[in-house]
């Protein structure tokens, strides 16, 4: 069937041949986890009561997924700080799925569309590609963190130790009793990244790809300042997750909203692509 040929083509050219970016994702996360290990060790040397506590893979992963507490200044007398590592992770993951669809359309994609005479094949195969490449890149990131964690003696557990709340600066009066299991938070991050990638792809059919990227990144940045269930980025932050706090956002709800967002975006994108000027795009 022609549709599966489109998918196979995208997997070959958009995933397998993009292995360098996946390797970079692994290396970046590996190095970030290494920096966290040094920070964690320094914290333990200052707070000797935590020195003999075995770290977990969850301790390393929460560094990426922590985000920031909303209204921290009002709650704890702390100044608001943009979660730079969380934003860098979002920016990088969105960047990975930015260029391929329209670059492929400007090249051999036009010929494939003419041969198939089915715009739906091309469009929905690209949605599947966004899902596949986001999953591959996300797994590579988690593997990089896991490998560094294991090298540092961490246990294979998604439980996060209590002192990480202070070490990564998301301490809050609403914290649940530790340890905190962040498996659902990690799943929510993956599904939400897929949804944002599809939204970015659809927006790029209306605007230039760079503008669509900046728009979605701006949306993610707004999530750090505004606490609202309508901003799905809130469900991606451990500091705002019910996995860790009593006053937060439930990851399963975030997954449901993200799936809904991806479906709505795909429908809008298909309607747009049905009347898209393919021959006029370079």
pLDDT in tens, 99-155: 888 777 767 766 666 666 777 888 898 999 999 999 999 999 999 999 998 998 888
Q: From the centroid of its chain, how far is CA 203?
A: 18
Point out which residues pair with 155 in neighbouring strands.
56
Nearest CA among 34, 41, 57, 36 for reference residue 181 = 57
pLDDT of 274 over the 70 cut: yes
φ, ψ for residue 275 (rounded to 5)?
Answer: -120, 25
Mean pLDDT over 238-265 rounds to 90
Could you tell me the pTM of the whole model? 0.89
3-class secondary structure, 1: coil
Name the pLDDT band for 73 (thresholds 50, 70, 90). Answer: very low
The backbone torsions φ and ψ at residue 99, rounded to the nearest 5 degrees and listed phi first, read: -90, -35
Written as six digits, the tokens of 277 are: 């000027």
Please tell me the least confidently modeled range out of 30-39, 170-179, 256-265: 170-179
Selection from 26, 51, 29, 30 nearest residue 40 by Cα: 51
| Residue with token string 């083509």 | 9
Cβ atoms within 10 Å of 154's Cβ, excluding its own: 22
Lowest mean pLDDT among 7-21, 75-89, 188-202: 75-89
- Tell me the backbone φ, ψ of residue 180, rounded to 5 degrees: -110, 125
- How far lies 103's CA from each of 107, 148, 216, 272, in Å? 6, 35, 19, 18
């Amino acid at each position: 069937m022609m549709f599966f040929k489109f998918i196979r083509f995208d997997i070959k050219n958009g995933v397998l041949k993009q292995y360098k970016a996946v390797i970079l994702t692994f290396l970046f996360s590996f190095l970030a986890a290494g920096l966290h290990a040094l920070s964690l060790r320094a914290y333990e040397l200052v707070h000797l009561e935590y020195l003999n506590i075995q770290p977990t893979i969850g301790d390393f992963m929460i560094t990426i997924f922590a985000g920031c507490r909303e209204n921290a200044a009002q709650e704890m007398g702390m100044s608001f700080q943009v979660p730079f590592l969380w934003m860098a992770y979002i920016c990088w993951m969105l960047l990975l799925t930015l260029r391929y669809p329209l670059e492929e359309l400007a090249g051999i994609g036009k010929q494939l569309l003419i041969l198939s005479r089915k715009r739906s094949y091309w469009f929905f195969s690209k949605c599947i590609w966004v899902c596949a490449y986001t999953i591959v890149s996300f797994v590579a990131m988690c593997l990089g963190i896991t490998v560094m964690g294991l090298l540092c003696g961490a246990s294979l557990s998604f439980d996060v130790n209590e002192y990480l709340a202070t070490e990564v600066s998301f301490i809050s009066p609403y914290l649940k009793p530790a340890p905190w299991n962040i498996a659902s938070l990690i799943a929510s991050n993956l599904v939400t990244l897929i949804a944002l990638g599809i939204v970015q792809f659809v927006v790029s059919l209306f605007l230039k790809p760079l503008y669509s990227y900046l728009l979605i990144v701006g949306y993610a940045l707004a999530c750090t300042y505004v606490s609202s269930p309508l901003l799905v980025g809130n469900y991606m932050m451990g500091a705002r997750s019910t996995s860790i706090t009593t006053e937060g956002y439930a990851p399963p709800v975030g997954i449901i909203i993200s799936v809904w967002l991806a479906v709505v975006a795909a429908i809008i994108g298909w309607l747009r692509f049905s009347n898209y000027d393919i021959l006029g795009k370079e």
